[in-house]
Amino acid sequence: MSVNPDRPAEITPEELAAQTALYAPFTQAVRELVDATIRTTVDPATIRTAQAEVEAITARLREEQLEGSLGAHFGHGRARQPWGNTVVGLRNPVAPPLRPVPAGDREGEVHAEVVLGAAYEGPPGLVHGGVSSLLLDQILGTAAAAAGKPGMTAYLNLTYRRPTPLGPLRVEGWVDRSEGHKTWARGHVVGPDGPTVEAEGLFVLPRWARELLARRGDAEAPPAFE
Ligand X SMILES: CCCCC/C=C\C/C=C\C/C=C\C/C=C\CCCC(=O)SCCNC(=O)CCNC(=O)[C@H](O)C(C)(C)COP(=O)(O)OP(=O)(O)OC[C@H]1O[C@@H](n2cnc3c(N)ncnc32)[C@H](O)[C@@H]1OP(=O)(O)O
Q: Which residues bind ligand X (CB under 6 A)?
A: 137-138, 141-142, 145, 150-155, 182, 202, 204-207, 209, 212-213, 222, 224
CB-based contacts of 24, cutoff 8 Å, min separation 6: 90
CB of 103 or CB of 209, closer to ligand X: 209
Q: How many residues does the chain have?
A: 226
Q: Which is nearer to ligand X, 199 or 205 (CB)?
A: 205
Between 37 and 182, CB nearer to ligand X: 182
Q: Helix, strand, or coil here: 126?
A: strand
Using CA atoms of 49, 52, 54, 57 in order, give the dihedral in degrees to the nearest 10: -130
Which amino acid is present at 5?
A: P
Nearer to ligand X, 124 or 180 (CB): 180
Q: Compute the least distance from the CB of residue 175 to ligand X, in Å.
A: 12
For residue 213, the minimal CB distance to ligand X (Å) is: 6
Closer residue to ligand X in complex, CB, 197/202: 202
Q: At its nearest, how many Å lie between ligand X and the CB of residue 155?
A: 4
Tell me the residue nearest to ligand X as measured from the CB: 141
Q: Smallest gap, in angstroms, from Cβ of residue 9 to ligand X?
A: 18
For residue 85, the minimal CB distance to ligand X (Å) is: 8
Give the residue ranges of DSSP H helices in 62-178. Answer: 129-146
Q: How far is CA 26 from CA 18, 29, 32, 155, 201, in A?
A: 13, 5, 10, 35, 34
Q: How far is the CB of 44 from ligand X (least distance, A)?
A: 40
Q: Which residue lies nearer to ligand X by CB, 84 or 141?
A: 141
Check if the beta carbon of residue 94 is closer than 8 Å to that of residue 86: yes
Strands (E), 91-205: 101-102, 110-116, 152-160, 167-179, 182-191, 194-204
- Helices (DSSP H) in the chain: which residue ranges? 13-39, 44-61, 129-146, 207-216
